[in-house]
């Protein structure tokens, strides 16, 4: 039986999430929203249709559309008609979008440096493996 008291795992996950959000806010040179950052991060791996982006991130099509419009206006993405279905728009990063993500990456290096100072090499490998397993499960549940 579960008690109402928060578990140490729950607390660690929630506080880690809060720290990651604070880190995101600190390194946001383009003053984009979290969802827009997530969309750009997805697009870093290749071109996607808006429906695929929404599915991957677990956000509605209308929110995807609104965010894509803003990112297009900022010059971070481009959209072209899909060759198989002209009604669909294939979305990809522009060079400006890649450059902005590169700036954020450089600023995120401090997060990696902090982790390297706190954890041994074995702990870093263990954290990476555990985090990747949790990421895969969360993504699978969202996309399924």
Per-residue pLDDT tens for 60-87? 999 999 999 999 999 999 999 877 777 7
8-143 folds as Arc Repressor Mutant, subunit A (1.10.10)
pLDDT along the chain (144 residues), means of 10: 73 90 77 88 95 92 96 95 81 95 86 93 96 91 76
Tell me the whole-structure pTM to 2 decimals. 0.71
Give percent helix, percent strand, percent coil of the chain, each to the nearest 5: 65, 10, 25
Q: Residue 5 in 3-state DSSP?
A: coil
């Amino acid at each position: 039986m579960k008690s109402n008291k928060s578990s140490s795992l729950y607390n660690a996950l929630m506080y880690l999430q809060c720290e990651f959000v604070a880190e995101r806010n600190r390194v946001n040179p383009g003053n984009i929203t979290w969802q827009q950052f997530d969309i750009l991060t997805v697009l870093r791996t290749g071109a996607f249709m808006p429906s695929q982006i929404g599915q991957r991130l677990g956000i509605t099509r209308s929110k995807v559309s609104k965010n894509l419009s803003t990112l297009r206006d900022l010059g971070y993405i481009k959209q072209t008609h899909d060759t198989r279905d002209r009604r669909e728009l294939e979305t990809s990063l522009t060079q400006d979008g890649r450059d902005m993500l590169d700036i954020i990456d450089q600023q995120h290096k401090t997060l990696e440096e902090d982790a390297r100072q706190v954890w041994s090499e074995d702990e870093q490998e263990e954290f990476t493996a555990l985090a990747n397993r949790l990421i895969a499960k969360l993504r699978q549940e969202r996309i399924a």
